[in-house]
A and B are shown apart, each in its own frame.
Chain A
Amino acid sequence: MTKPPIDDALVAQAAAPTKKTVQMPIGVPGYTLTEESREVPTTEPPVWPINKDLKYVGQSIERYDGQAKVTGRARYTSDVQLPGMLYAKFVNASVPHAKIVSIDTSAAERCPGVRGVHVIQHVLGNAVLRDPALDPVKYPVVRYAGQPVAAVAATTPAMAEEAAALVKVRYDASPFVVDLDKARAPDAPDVFPGAADEEGSAGGGGGPSNVKQTGNIHGPSIHRRGETDQGFKDADVIVEGHYVTQVQTHSALETHGVVADWKPELLTVWASTQGTASVREELAGFFKIPLTQVRVITEFMGGGFGAKFGAGNPGVVAAALSKKTGAPVRLMLDREEEHLSVGNRPSSDQTLRIGAKKDGTITAIHLVAYGTAGCGTGAGCSGPAANLYQSASLHTEENDVFINAGPASAMRAPGHPQGAFALEQTIDDLAVKLGMEPIDLRDKADTHPVRRVERQIVRESDIWKSRNQVAGADQGPIKRGVGLAQSVWYRFVSMNSSAEVRIHKDGSLEVLSGVQDIGSGIKTVMAQILAEQFGVPPSQIAVKIGDTNYAEGPNSGGSVTTLSLTPAVRDAAWQASQKFLADIAPALGTTSDDVVLVDGEVRSRSGKFEPVSFRRAAGKMTTSQIAVQAKRVSDYDPKKYLTYGGVDVAEVEVDTELGRIHVRRVLSVHDCGRPMNPTQVISQINGGIIQGISYTLLENRLLDPVYGLMVNPDLEQYKIVGSREIPDIDVRLVEAYIGQSSTDASGIGEAAGVVSIGAAIGNAVYNAIGVRVRRTPMTPDVVLAALRAPAQGKELA
């Protein structure tokens, strides 16, 4: 059989697009603004000026669906009601480690209202044995209390709950361990009978595979740059500290859950997810059906923070029950299940050593970290140590320690709040030892051009000027202090980012993408981009997202959404507008190169016709609709500007008699490329600061040491900040142009304060009382213990 000849025309189409050279704004207006040239595809729209010269983009436009959310009109997954819908309830393991001997579902099946019972054969989320033959049992081994075992679907939630309680699970209990230190002991019970790994998710969960595993210790995963032995020899000063952070759960307002409707031709799933695409992918893969046979819808969702990628156990089980019963099935987790089985931020136990020259030049950074991601992996926390400062040498060792607790998942800047808590306090220790101002030391050791500007803003702030020159200088039992810390995050781009723009003959405009709004407000930003292009107010743009039937959208993790999707939206809007002008030019008695769209009007360059409004001009379209789909173009210069971040300053009051810390004020100076909607960016930073304070002072997943059960699986004893813990937060957004795309946006979700506020509080506490608190949460018992026996940073030089 001979192959047909290749058609030259097809080859030409597939060839690389031609490029043009453009000048782009670079740097921070008012500080470092300049221009750089970029080679970009000729199909790219004209370069936008900086925000002050744009009309809608860069403005604090009201949130597109804010009214729908605050009035309750917004329909979340748990609001979905389908005819004949069943309610499902998990049966969860009541013991932390066991083989399941038998599962008797007969009593549950006989319950009134019960339509189906599903016994789980493949549990998702846990690390997986490299050698599955080591678990030669019928049912998945229970590795944590709360692991889903089975599920029941019934006509009412109460019936489902009643029936779930009647499923009889017989366990063959195994020894267990729920404490990091005990799990590291040589005689600790093994969580897994052999080496096990957890694959990473789109948001950065999971850990390295194929590292050494000794007992429960999965690691070390070692990274080296230069020679730290030499680096410490070259140092004039060495500081070392031991830092311990706890497990935090995501505690999103909306729990995990889906409504699954299995029909032979199409599985439709409403999901509370941060990745409609990831849910579709996992369901298609799990049930071995083509992607075209799965549709996932998420118009609104109530928070994910990294825990809501993929279908997970709830999605897979609800779909299986729907398939089995022939009815739509709703499965929403309760708060206890949410704490136990769908992810958390791993703990950390870090020993960090830093060496430096007298002038503040860092010669060596050495980190040994342990942490537990439960029966998963992903406790690595070396990101800040590896990426925040220039250092002649670096050595990091990361170890996951398995315990019998729910697997971790990605959580807002995975590893970074833990890593920065140790790093940024150690840098402050170094400043004390060197007799340098902490901000001067950072100017020396951190060369990032934007953080340099951010530190300048901090230097000039009242809050920073009010810092004690001598730590612990205040008289009386209540002492005030100020500290700062820096954050770093990375520019991740999801190329699975597309958008479709439609111009209708009545002049209405819509933009569609599969992307979901995790809360950052991407709908608003999409509307702003079309408004900017077509010169109509954003409120007149119809935005449709959260449906895999639309052009593919990115999964929202790693702070990718705005920076990945907005260039595709702008490109689609620009290309649609060009198509539109070419289409209507003949009707206006001219040619396409004579018509332009300015401020919502179609105008003739040569004056051949009077300006006509966009809406009237649309009436001259030759078809009812002009639609253009555009895909994300690669970053213009992907070798540049790979990280961004911010500087956070906290002012605290420490009540030294009660051990209580009150955060009074926070100054948060952050960059995220071109801020597309400042209010929405500031909202994310406010949220990051609040979540970070909550982590630093309060939140703690507590596991009973004797029975291995969580004692505080609610939102009452699992303590989250309330209104009185929230300080005055002053956010200063730094516009930092980097010339990377047609919108030049970056992300903010992860860098937004949550990385650095814990260390800023730690440094402020030190400034207040002259004692370092190296453990979170900084509850009264921890603070009083630190005051009584201050853990001194070891002095090795």
Chain B
Amino acid sequence: MKDGIEQPTRLVNIRNISGLHGIRETEQGLTIGPLTTLAEISDHPLIQSQYQILADACGHAATPHIRNMATVGGNLLQRVQCWYYRSSDFQCIRKGKDLCFAFDGLNQYHAIMEYATCPSVAPSSAAVALLGLNASVELSSAKRGKRTVGIRELYVVPDANPTKFTVIEPDELLTAIVIPKPAPGTRSAYQKYGEKESFDWAIADAGVVLEMDGDVCRRAVITMGAASPVVRRSPQAEAALAGKPITQETARAAGKVAVEGAQPLSGNAYKLDLFPVAVYRTILLAAGQRDRDPSAAG
């Protein structure tokens, strides 16, 4: 609204709906109300011990001040940070016009994959973690009742519809985030790298969920946010780990293939160097073989 993109005639305060707030442990896993703050999630003992990737993502978004106020629902549904989209001087394809200004303009923070229509990148750290955890969201409509969609399916890729950012309809509200219980032996982590350590958007990030069977990785989920317009998994990186022990070598190999097929824009080829590092270091962090990177944004 402050960027002049939306000018709604009516705003409804949902902050005081207590049913939309809180973290509940269920037999199937966790249910998190969308009004739960990022700080509440990152500070939660159960999330810290069993859903580490989510604690990491929520605990390293924005700043401590913002994390104390900002909700996970708001984090998931935030619009892209592309400076052309956010500027009232540029009327771009995501605002219903014809042009994308980033292709010929300044695009050092933009996407390296899956950006045919718009190369803005997925802004939500929480989404990178929740995709790794195979979470879904509950959408509720007074008329049509409830439906459940996966995190990946929540987002509309700009190639399909550039002005529709999520599948949420005008009469729907995000009412819950549902996270299945991780399989036994699961270890996970998320790391985000910015130009700054304090309060910066990711230039590279990685979410890693490893289902371990002793020393061997039974199954891996590798997710990225700042590579593409919506959060994505890297099947190549996941395949590189499946059935293998986690070592420097396997982690680096997975990192390397995570950017397979990436096509940098004029100003962001350096991201092809960053993502493999973000991925391999976060794999080692999840596996307990490496400390959190001191340079991963705070």
Q: Once bound together, how far apart are the Cα atoms of A725 and B199, in whole Å?
A: 10
Also in contact, A709 and B89, with CB within 8 A (given A704-B105, A704-B106)? yes
* Smallest beta-carbon distance B9→chain A, Å: 16
* Smallest beta-carbon distance A205→chain B, Å: 27
Interface string of B76-112 (1 = CB under 8 A from A): 0000010110010110000000000100111011000
Interface string of A719-747 (1 = CB under 8 A from B): 10111110000000000000000000000
Q: Is the CB of A785 within 8 A of B89?
A: no
Residues on B with beta carbons closer than 8 Å to the beta carbon of A625 = none
Q: Is the CB of A707 within 8 A of B198?
A: no
Residues on A with beta carbons closer than 8 Å to the beta carbon of B81 = 717
* Smallest beta-carbon distance B1→chain A, Å: 14
Residues on B with beta carbons closer than 8 Å to the beta carbon of A711 = 83-84, 87, 105-106
Q: Once bound together, how far apart are the Cα atoms of A334 and B269, in whole Å?
A: 34
Excluding A94-B89, A662-B294, 11 further A-B contacts by CB distance (< 8 Å) are A658-B277, A659-B270, A704-B105, A705-B104, A711-B83, A711-B87, A719-B195, A722-B197, A724-B298, A725-B196, A781-B270
Q: Is A780 an interface residue (CB 8 A)?
A: yes
Interface string of A623-644 (1 = CB under 8 A from B): 0000000000000000000000
24 A-B residue pairs with Cβ-Cβ distance under 8 Å, sorted by A, are: A657-B273, A658-B193, A658-B273, A659-B273, A659-B274, A660-B193, A662-B294, A697-B195, A698-B195, A704-B105, A704-B106, A705-B105, A706-B101, A706-B104, A709-B89, A711-B106, A717-B83, A717-B109, A719-B195, A722-B196, A722-B197, A725-B197, A780-B195, A780-B203
* Smallest beta-carbon distance B124→chain A, Å: 16
Q: Is the CB of B106 within 8 A of A702?
A: yes
Q: Is A496 an interface residue (CB 8 A)?
A: no
A52-92 at interface with B (beta carbon < 8 Å): none
Q: Once bound together, how far apart are the Cα atoms of A709 and B83, in whole Å?
A: 11
Q: Is the CB of A660 within 8 A of B295?
A: yes
Select one of B106, B270, B298 contacting A780, CB under 8 A: B270
Residues on A with beta carbons closer than 8 Å to the beta carbon of B83 = 711-712, 717
Q: Is B200 an interface residue (CB 8 A)?
A: yes
Also in contact, A658 and B274, with CB within 8 A (given A706-B104, A711-B87, A723-B198)? yes
Q: Is the CB of A725 within 8 A of B101?
A: no
Q: Is the CB of B198 within 8 A of A779?
A: no
Q: Is A784 an interface residue (CB 8 A)?
A: yes
Q: Is the CB of B200 within 8 A of A785?
A: no
Also in contact, A658 and B295, with CB within 8 A (given A723-B198, A780-B270, A784-B273)? yes
Residues on B with beta carbons closer than 8 Å to the beta carbon of A722 = 63, 196-199
Residues on A with beta carbons closer than 8 Å to the beta carbon of B269 = 781
* Smallest beta-carbon distance B78→chain A, Å: 13
Q: Once bound together, how far apart are the Cα atoms of A660 and B200, in whole Å?
A: 14
Select one of B89, B104, B105, B277 contacting A657, CB under 8 A: B277
Across the interface, name the chain B residue whose C-beta is closest to A717: B83
Select one of A655, A704, A705 contacting B295, CB under 8 A: A655
The 8 closest A-B pairs by CB, nearest first: A722-B198, A781-B270, A724-B197, A724-B198, A711-B83, A657-B277, A724-B298, A704-B105
B35-87 at interface with A (beta carbon < 8 Å): 63, 81, 83-84, 87
Interface string of B194-233 (1 = CB under 8 A from A): 0111111001100000000000000000000000000000
Interface of B (DSSP majority class): loop
Interface string of A684-718 (1 = CB under 8 A from B): 00000000000001100010111101011000010
Residues on A with beta carbons closer than 8 Å to the beta carbon of B195 = 697-698, 719, 779-780
Residues of B within 8 A of A (CB): 63, 81, 83-84, 87, 89-90, 101, 104-106, 108-109, 193, 195-200, 203-204, 267-270, 273-274, 277, 294-295, 298
Residues on B with beta carbons closer than 8 Å to the beta carbon of A779 = 195
Q: Is the CB of A719 within 8 A of B196?
A: yes
Q: Is the CB of B104 within 8 A of A662?
A: no
* Smallest beta-carbon distance B154→chain A, Å: 25
Q: Once bound together, how far apart are the Cα atoms of A719 and B196, in whole Å?
A: 8
Across the interface, name the chain A residue whose C-beta is closest to B103: A706
Q: Once bound together, how far apart are the Cα atoms of A356 and B70, in whole Å?
A: 59
Select one of A657, A697, A725, A784 contacting B198, CB under 8 A: A725
* Smallest beta-carbon distance A706→chain B, Å: 5
Q: Once bound together, how far apart are the Cα atoms of A94 and B108, in whole Å?
A: 24
Residues on A with beta carbons closer than 8 Å to the beta carbon of B274 = 658-659, 780
Residues on A with beta carbons closer than 8 Å to the beta carbon of B109 = 717
Q: Once bound together, how far apart are the Cα atoms of A711 and B87, in whole Å?
A: 7
Q: Once bound together, how far apart are the Cα atoms of A153 and B187, in whole Å?
A: 60
Q: Once bound together, how far apart are the Cα atoms of A779 and B273, in whole Å?
A: 13
Q: Once bound together, how far apart are the Cα atoms of A433 and B87, in whole Å?
A: 49
Q: Once bound together, how far apart are the Cα atoms of A712 and B86, in whole Å?
A: 10
* Smallest beta-carbon distance B255→chain A, Å: 10
Q: Once bound together, how far apart are the Cα atoms of A712 and B201, in whole Å?
A: 13
Q: Once bound together, how far apart are the Cα atoms of A722 and B200, in whole Å?
A: 10
Q: Once bound together, how far apart are the Cα atoms of A719 and B267, in whole Å?
A: 17
Across the interface, name the chain B residue whose C-beta is closest to A703: B106
A740-797 at interface with B (beta carbon < 8 Å): 779-781, 784-785
* Smallest beta-carbon distance A102→chain B, Å: 21
Q: Once bound together, how far apart are the Cα atoms of A601 and B223, in whole Å?
A: 76
Across the interface, name the chain B residue whose C-beta is closest to A694: B196
Q: Is the CB of B196 within 8 A of A698?
A: yes
Residues on A with beta carbons closer than 8 Å to the beta carbon of B277 = 657-658
Q: Is the CB of B106 within 8 A of A705?
A: yes
Across the interface, name the chain A residue whose C-beta is closest to B270: A781
Residues on A with beta carbons closer than 8 Å to the beta carbon of B101 = 704, 706-707
Select one of B87, B198, B200 contacting A709, CB under 8 A: B87
Q: Once bound together, how far apart are the Cα atoms of A658 and B89, in whole Å?
A: 33
Q: Once bound together, how far apart are the Cα atoms of A659 and B83, in whole Å?
A: 23
Q: Once bound together, how far apart are the Cα atoms of A741 and B239, in whole Å?
A: 76
* Smallest beta-carbon distance B79→chain A, Å: 14
Across the interface, name the chain A residue whose C-beta is closest to B268: A781
Residues on B with beta carbons closer than 8 Å to the beta carbon of A719 = 195-196, 200
Residues on A with beta carbons closer than 8 Å to the beta carbon of B63 = 722
Across the interface, name the chain B residue whose C-beta is closest to A778: B195
Q: Once bound together, how far apart are the Cα atoms of A658 and B279, in whole Å?
A: 12
Select one of B90, B108, B196 contacting A781, CB under 8 A: B108
Residues on A with beta carbons closer than 8 Å to the beta carbon of B203 = 780
Residues on B with beta carbons closer than 8 Å to the beta carbon of A721 = 196, 198
A650-676 at interface with B (beta carbon < 8 Å): 655, 657-660, 662
* Smallest beta-carbon distance B158→chain A, Å: 19
Q: Once bound together, how far apart are the Cα atoms of A706 and B103, in whole Å?
A: 11
Residues on A with beta carbons closer than 8 Å to the beta carbon of B90 = 707, 709
* Smallest beta-carbon distance B133→chain A, Å: 26
Residues on B with beta carbons closer than 8 Å to the beta carbon of A780 = 195, 203, 270, 274
* Smallest beta-carbon distance A193→chain B, Å: 26
Residues on A with beta carbons closer than 8 Å to the beta carbon of B200 = 719
Residues on A with beta carbons closer than 8 Å to the beta carbon of B104 = 705-706
* Smallest beta-carbon distance A479→chain B, Å: 13
Residues on B with beta carbons closer than 8 Å to the beta carbon of A725 = 196-198
Also in contact, A784 and B270, with CB within 8 A (given A657-B277, A658-B295, A721-B196)? yes
Q: Once bound together, how far apart are the Cα atoms of A681 and B146, in whole Å?
A: 63
Residues on B with beta carbons closer than 8 Å to the beta carbon of A658 = 193, 204, 273-274, 277, 295
